[in-house]
C-alpha cells in the first residue's frame, strides 16, 4: 500500500508565516497601540520620583519591567480591570471553562468512558478550544416563525445577567466589582431575571419543545426560589448585615455552616434546582423534550447560553462559599513577599534591578484568593457529582420537595438562628 507524500513546499510555508506576521503587526499597530493609549488615558497614573507619570511616557516605559510594574499596578486599581479581568468576567469565565472540561472528564471516569481525548496531547485538554471554534464557525439558524428580536436577545441577556451575578461576589479582601450594602438583596434581584429570560426565549422560539421546557423552568425556579431565599435568612440574622464582604469577614473564626447546617443543605439543594442540574434538569430533559428551552438555539447563540450557564454555576458555588464556608478566610499559606526585593532591588550579578511597584498584590489578597478558589472548586465538584450518580426526578416530586419539605426545613433553620441569637451565643454581643 503506497502512501502519498504531502505536497510540502518550504517557500509556501515561509510565505504563510510572513503573511501571519504582517497581519499581526498591522492589526497591532492600527488597533493594539491605540487601545493601550486609551487605557493609559483612562487609568490614574502613578507618581514616580515625585512627578506624575504621563500616558505618553508610560507607553515607552511598558518595555522596561522595572518601570512598567507601577503602571500595571495602577491599571489593576481601575474599574475596567475589576470588571473585565479580576475578580469579574475574565476570572469567572476561566473557572467556568475549567469546570466544563473537568465535568466531561469526571463523568467519563464515573461511567467508565474515555471522554475528551484526542484534541490535545494531555487528556484532550484542547477539546474546549475546539468546541468553542466549532460553535463560532457554525451557522446560526433562526426558526421561521420565531419572534426574532426576543430570540436574538435571550442569549445575550442570559450572559449579561450571569455576569451581573459574578460582579456581586467578593473574592478577596477589597476585591469585588460591586460592593453593595444590600449585596444579598441584589443577588436575589439578579436571580429573579433568569426565569423571565428562560420563558421569554422559550416563547419566542414558537416551538413545542422549547415552550414545554420553558414552562417547566418557570415552575421549577418559582418553586425553589422561596426556600432558597429563606435558607439564607439565618446568616443575615446572625451577621446583622446584607453586605457579602461583611458576611465573609464575620466568619474569620468559624464558618456559618457549623451552626447552620440545615440552611446550607437547603441552599445547596435549591441551588441545584436553580442551575437545572440533575436530578432537577426537567427544563432540558434531553430524553423527553430534546433539549427543552435550548432546542432551537444553534451556533454561538447556544454557546452564549452555555457560557452563561457555567458563569451562573460558578456564581452560585462562590455564593455558597461566601455565605457558609468563610469565603476568603483561612490559614496564611502564601509566604510574605521578600523585603529585599521591595527595598533594595534584585541583584543580577553586578546589576541591581529596582522594582518600585512590588509587590503587585498584597499577601492577604493572594492568600484569600487561594482559599476562595479552593473552596469554590470543591463546591463545584459536589454540584457536578449528582449528574453521574442520580436519575431525573418527576415534576410532581420536584414541586412537592420545593413547596413542602424545603420550606419547612428553611423555617427550622431560621428558628435555630433566632435561638442562637437570643441565647447570646452568636450575633452582636454574643460570646462567640
Output the CA torsion sign for 241, 243, 244, 247.
negative
Cα–Cα nearest to 398, from 264, 263, 272? 272
DSSP secondary structure, 35-62, as one string: HHHHHHHHS-PPEETTEEPPHHHHHHHT
Alpha carbon 404 to chain centroid, angstroms? 31
The C-alpha cell 434531553 sits at 286
Cβ count near 359 (within 10 Å): 16
Distance CA(270)–CA(268), nearest Å, equals 6
Residue 244 grid cell: 457579602
Contact (Cβ atoms closer than 8 angstroms) between residue 235 and residue 263: yes
What's residue 18's pLDDT? 87
Residue 193 grid cell: 431575571
What's residue 332's pLDDT? 86
Distance CA(286)–CA(295), nearest Å, equals 9
What's residue 168's pLDDT? 92
Distance CA(322)–CA(171), nearest Å, equals 9
Domain ranges of the chain: 141-422
Report helix, strand or coil for 280.
coil
Contact (Cβ atoms closer than 8 angstroms) between residue 364 and residue 173: yes
Q: Is 23 exposed, middle or buried (0-12, 13-18, 19+ CB in 10 A)?
A: exposed
H or E segment and range at residue 346: strand 346-348
Kindly report the length of the chain. 432
* Four-point Cα dihedral 5, 6, 12, 16, nearest 10: -150
Bond prior to 83 in cis (omega within 30° of 0)? no
Report helix, strand or coil for 172.
strand
Cα–Cα nearest to 412, from 287, 261, 269? 261
Cα–Cα nearest to 261, from 229, 223, 231, 224? 231
Q: How far is it between the farthest Cα atoms of the chain? A: 86
Cα–Cα nearest to 292, from 189, 219, 351? 219
Cβ count near 165 (within 10 Å): 24
Task: List, for the chain, all residue ranges whose pLDDT scores fall below the cut of 70.
Answer: 1-8, 47-52, 56, 61-67, 337-359, 429-430, 432
Q: How many helices (H) and strands (E) does the chain have?
A: 20, 4
Contact (Cβ atoms closer than 8 angstroms) between residue 325 and residue 247: no
Contact (Cβ atoms closer than 8 angstroms) between residue 276 and residue 283: yes
Bond prior to 279 in cis (omega within 30° of 0)? yes
| pTM of this prediction exceeds 0.85 | no
What's residue 379's pLDDT? 94
Amino acid at each position: 500500500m503506497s502512501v502519498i507524500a504531502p505536497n510540502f513546499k518550504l517557500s509556501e510555508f515561509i510565505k504563510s508565516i510572513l503573511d501571519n506576521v504582517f497581519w499581526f503587526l498591522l492589526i497591532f499597530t492600527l488597533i493594539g497601540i491605540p487601545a493601550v493609549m486609551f487605557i493609559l488615558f483612562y487609568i490614574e497614573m502613578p507618581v514616580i520620583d515625585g512627578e506624575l507619570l504621563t500616558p505618553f511616557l508610560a507607553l515607552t516605559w511598558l518595555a522596561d519591567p522595572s518601570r512598567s510594574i507601577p503602571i500595571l499596578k495602577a491599571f489593576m486599581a481601575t474599574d475596567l480591570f475589576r470588571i473585565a479581568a479580576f475578580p469579574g468576567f475574565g476570572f469567572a469565565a476561566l473557572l467556568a471553562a475549567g469546570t466544563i472540561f473537568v465535568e466531561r472528564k469526571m463523568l467519563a471516569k464515573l461511567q467508565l468512558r474515555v471522554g475528551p481525548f484526542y484534541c490535545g496531547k494531555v487528556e484532550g485538554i484542547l477539546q474546549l478550544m475546539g468546541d468553542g471554534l466549532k460553535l463560532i464557525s457554525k451557522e446560526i439558524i433562526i426558526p421561521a416563525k420565531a419572534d426574532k428580536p426576543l430570540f436574538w436577545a435571550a442569549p445575550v441577556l442570559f450572559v449579561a445577567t450571569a455576569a451581573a451575578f459574578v460582579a456581586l461576589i467578593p473574592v478577596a479582601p477589597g476585591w469585588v466589582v460591586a460592593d453593595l450594602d444590600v449585596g444579598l438583596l441584589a443577588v436575589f434581584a439578579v436571580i429573579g431575571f433568569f426565569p423571565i429570560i428562560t420563558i421569554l426565549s422559550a416563547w419566542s422560539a414558537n416551538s413545542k419543545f422549547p415552550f414545554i421546557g420553558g414552562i417547566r423552568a418557570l415552575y421549577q425556579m418559582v418553586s425553589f426560589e422561596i426556600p432558597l431565599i429563606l435558607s439564607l435568612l439565618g446568616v443575615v440574622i446572625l451577621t446583622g448585615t446584607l453586605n457579602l464582604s461583611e458576611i465573609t469577614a464575620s466568619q474569620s473564626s468559624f464558618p456559618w455552616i457549623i451552626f447552620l447546617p440545615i440552611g446550607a443543605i437547603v441552599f445547596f439543594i435549591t441551588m441545584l434546582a436553580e442551575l437545572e442540574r440533575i436530578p432537577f434538569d426537567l427544563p432540558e430533559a434531553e430524553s423527553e423534550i430534546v433539549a427543552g428551552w435550548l432546542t432551537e438555539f444553534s451556533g454561538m447563540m447556544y454557546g452564549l447560553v452555555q457560557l452563561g450557564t457555567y458563569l451562573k454555576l460558578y456564581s452560585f458555588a462562590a455564593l455558597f462559599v461566601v455565605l457558609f464556608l468563610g469565603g476568603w478566610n483561612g490559614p496564611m499559606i502564601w509566604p510574605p513577599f521578600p523585603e529585599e526585593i521591595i527595598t533594595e532591588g534584585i541583584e543580577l550579578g553586578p546589576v541591581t534591578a529596582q522594582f518600585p511597584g512590588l509587590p503587585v498584590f498584597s499577601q492577604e489578597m493572594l492568600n484569600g484568593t487561594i482559599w476562595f478558589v479552593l473552596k469554590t472548586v470543591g463546591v463545584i465538584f459536589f454540584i457536578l457529582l449528582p449528574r453521574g450518580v442520580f436519575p431525573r426526578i418527576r415534576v410532581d416530586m420536584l414541586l412537592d420537595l420545593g413547596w413542602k419539605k424545603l420550606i419547612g426545613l428553611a423555617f427550622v433553620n431560621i428558628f435555630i438562628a433566632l435561638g442562637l441569637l437570643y441565647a447570646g451565643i452568636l450575633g452582636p454581643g454574643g460570646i462567640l
